[in-house]
Amino acid sequence: MARLAEALRAAIGAIRAHLLRAALTVLGMVIGVAAVIAVVALLQGFGQSITQQFRNLGANGLVITAYLPQKAALEGKTARITPDDLLAIRQRVAGVRDVVPLLPLAQFSAEVRYGNRSSNTSVSGTTSGFPRNGARYPVQGRFVVAGDDTTRRPVAVIGQTLIKDLHLPARPEGHFIQLFGAWFKVVGVLNKVGTLVGLIDRDNLIYIPYTTAVSLSGTQTAPNIVIQLDVDNTRAIKPVEARITAVLRRQHHLLPGAEDDFKIQSAAELTKALTRALDSASLILGAIVGISLLVGGVGIMNVMLVSVTERTREIGIHKSLGATRADILLQFLLEAVLLSLLGGLVGLALGYGIGKLVVHLVPAFAGAIVPGWTIALSLGFTAAVGLVFGITPAAKAAALDPIEALRYE
Amino acid sequence: MSAAPATDAAPLLELRGIGKRYRMGETDVDALRGVDLAIARNEYVAFIGPSGSGKTTLMNIVGCLDRPSSGSYLLNGQRVADLDDNALARIRNREIGFVFQNFNLLGRADALHNVMQPLVYRGVKLRERRQLAAAALADVGLGDRLDHRPNQLSGGQRQRVAIARALVGKPSILLADEPTGNLDSTTAREIMAMFAALHRSGNTIILVTHDAEVAAHAERTVAIRDGQVISDTRRMAEEAAHGAAG
């Protein structure tokens, strides 16, 4: 114990004796760790903001979308969720409410005009039950109501970005906008929900009545829709999913053994899948950047080798005083690990700082989060690099012949 | 500290037929050829010889920095000729105190820490290390220089730090290699007087030198030439004391 403490003290002394050199030596380490931490911090921050936004879907919400398995696609089949499916679910599945269709007509590609201004936006058709869980609600005017749907009214509920983009009046209800070559009366303005991780403006959108959207879609066959619904009882999600599956399989005439041509996803599952994907992305990116740590390790090894040569005589003195090989090995190894860890710690702080700075400068990133496992992993890895790259110089020092070392000028 | 005190009959150190052969390129060089030597406790011995005589090789073997190629070496009852590196390090730590021509102090450490260093390898606790080292420095008259680094000390002071460091672990032998080689004559006299005093207080001292004047301080002179002992002379204590004064 006394020996270890003394070796540690000696290692610190040796590092302090050449502070500038130590700083330059660990620069590679600092940059490597900083890069890892910054990348992971941003990815994790990104992930958390997405997760939070998915929470708006609610714990008991289900989303049904068409999904074509690859095998079926090769057989030339197509997959779609139709209004008939919607009806079937409404009629035959118990324990669900607010079963609403969503017919996406355009994603940021629909031209909308007001006066001489125009803009591109997303348009979806839906029904009155759509604004769910308080995530979307009209702050002015009203949402699509049942009457809009039954009579296919050309009305629109708009997101707040459009007021700005189209120079609409602050209270745009009653004004007409032009969409798909037809006139739509603005009946409501949605609450502001902000951007999805800074990239996707979720306030740049228009909802129109579902039936209006169907007629606009111009398809002869039934349109492919997305169905959203809420399960009454969170604990009944599994049986409800099974029931929906059975109903849809019958609707789609799927033979036993054939794969489903639709997907039922819950908000919780989506969140989980996303978090998993981001965690593995963090790990992979971190590992790639982590390779730079090896370069830092080589730098440390190089300086340690120089240092051993420089201190040959000092090593000889220690040996003449009774230091064993293990004593010398321990001291130089500790020195390498300390240097490495020092670089790791500075890199950690720097990386976090860079993450914060990027978040500050680039609105696309919602926040920088450094999870505990990253800190543990990067410091552990740094120490390991110090150990691995320190062993050769330390062994060289330990193996010095005391007589020759003492004679070394 | 060391093994049971040997009786006066058993020498502290006994070399028998010590040979050392180096390989220099293609040829073998015999630095030592069959050295027989016994040194008793509390002797003050000088190894004298010109450079290349083998005296330094002999000192390295006696100091357990090196192993002989042949022969046997008993130190304080232990066979050390064929010990491994770790065992030799242990013996250097406990049985030998080195004093070098160029002091060989640790440049970054102050006097106190230089003297504490051998105790580190003995596993002595920090508090005790400090006390022992401070006492050893006080003994050589440097009690007020504990926090001075080697470059803040004069040559004589540095050598006294080195002597304190050599003695702090109470070794069996004080092994001094040209201890006055880098000192002016006044300082050299001080250091030699210190060795004489250490000898009087019971230490066993081996002095390695090429300088007959320095060797004259010892009570026994072992002359070495071409790897062999060519003479081994003792003087009376008074004569040695006279030599020290002269």
Ranges of chain A with pLDDT below 70: 1-2, 51-59, 131-135, 195-199, 219-220, 363-364, 366
pLDDT tens, residue by residue, B200-213: 999 999 999 999 99
Contacts of A321 in chain B (CB under 8 A): 92-93, 98, 117-118, 121, 165
pLDDT for position A138: 86
Q: Are A329 and A393 within 8 A, CB to CB?
A: no
Distance CA B159, CA B179 (A): 8
Is the CATH number of domain B13-245 3.90.850.10? no
pLDDT tens, residue by residue, B219-234: 999 999 999 999 999 9
Nearest to A2 among B94, B106, B120 (CB): B120
The answer to whether the Cβ–Cβ distance between B104 and A313 falls below 8 Å is yes
Check whether B180 has a pLDDT greater than 50.
yes
Across residues B98-103, what is the average pLDDT? 93
Across residues B80-98, what is the average pLDDT? 90
Nearest to B121 among A14, A313, A327 (CB): A327
Across residues B123-130, what is the average pLDDT? 92
The percentage of residues in chain B with a pLDDT greater than 70, rounded to a whole number, is 92
Domain ranges for chain B: 13-245
Main-chain dihedrals φ then ψ at residue B183, nearest 5 degrees = -115, 150
Contacts of B66 in chain A (CB under 8 A): 403
Distance CA B177, CA B102 (A): 9
- The tokens for B174 are 């004080």
pLDDT tens, residue by residue, A85-135: 988 999 999 888 888 888 888 887 888 999 889 999 999 888 887 766 556
- The tokens for B8 are 């006066």
pTM value > 0.80:
no
Which strand ranges, in their side-by-side order, compose the sheet holding B70-75?
Answer: B27-39, B13-24, B70-75, B78-79
Contacts of A319 in chain B (CB under 8 A): 65, 89, 92
The answer to whether the Cβ–Cβ distance between B92 and A321 falls below 8 Å is yes
pLDDT for position A52: 66
Contacts of A12 in chain B (CB under 8 A): none
pLDDT for position A47: 77
Nearest to B85 among A314, A325, A406 (CB): A325
DSSP string, A219-243: -SSPPP-EEEEEESSGGGHHHHHHH
pLDDT for position B19: 94
pLDDT tens, residue by residue, B76-88: 888 987 788 999 9
Asked whether the CA dihedral B22, B28, B29, B31 is positive or negative, the reply is: positive
pLDDT for position A174: 92
- The tokens for B69 are 């190629």
Main-chain dihedrals φ then ψ at residue B3, nearest 5 degrees = -65, 180
Check whether B2 has a pLDDT greater than 50.
no
Nearest to B120 among A6, A14, A406 (CB): A6
Domain ranges for chain A: 2-53+272-407, 61-266
Nearest residue of A to residue B94, measured between CA atoms: A322
Phi-psi region of A78 (alpha: psi -120 to 50; beta: other; left: phi over 0): beta
Give the Å distances, CA to CA, from A160 to A132, A144, A163, A387: 18, 16, 5, 58
Residues of chain B with a CB closer than 8 angstroms to some CB in chain A: 60, 63, 65-66, 85-86, 89-90, 92-94, 98, 100, 104-109, 117-118, 120-126, 165
Check whether B161 has a pLDDT greater than 80.
yes
3-state secondary structure of B71: strand
With residue A105 as reference, give the H or E element that holds it.
Answer: strand A96-114
DSSP string, B104-147: ---TTS-HHHHHHHHHHTTT--HHHHHHHHHHHHHHTT-TT-TT
Q: Which residues contact A396 (CB under 8 A, 6 or more apart)?
A: A305, A308
Main-chain dihedrals φ then ψ at residue A276, nearest 5 degrees = -60, -45
Smallest Cα–Cα separation from B119: which of B129, B105, B104, B107?
B129
Of B217 and A72, which is predicted with more confidence? B217
Q: Are B216 and B209 within 8 A, CB to CB?
A: no
Residues of chain A with a CB closer than 8 angstroms to some CB in chain B: 2-3, 5-6, 13-14, 17, 313-314, 316-327, 402-403, 406
ipTM of the complex: 0.90
The answer to whether the Cβ–Cβ distance between A318 and B98 falls below 8 Å is no
Residue A9, judged by CB atoms within 10 A of its CB (0-12, 13-18, 19+), counts as middle
Distance CA A249, CA A260 (A): 7
pLDDT for position A286: 77
The answer to whether the Cβ–Cβ distance between B165 and A321 falls below 8 Å is yes
Of B128 and A70, which is predicted with more confidence? B128
Nearest residue of B to residue A328, measured between CA atoms: B121
| Minimum distance, in Å, between the CA of residue B89 and any CA atom of chain A | 5
Asked whether the CA dihedral A186, A188, A194, A196 is positive or negative, the reply is: negative
Smallest Cα–Cα separation from B178: which of B54, B48, B20?
B48
Q: Are B90 and A322 within 8 A, CB to CB?
A: yes
| Minimum distance, in Å, between the CA of residue A380 and any CA atom of chain B | 29
Check whether B8 has a pLDDT greater than 60.
no
| Minimum distance, in Å, between the CA of residue A15 and any CA atom of chain B | 11
Check whether B137 has a pLDDT greater than 70.
yes
Instruction: Characterize the bridge pairing of strands B204-209 and B44-48.
Output: parallel
Distance CA B129, CA B113 (A): 9
Q: Are A6 and B118 within 8 A, CB to CB?
A: no
Contacts of A398 in chain B (CB under 8 A): none
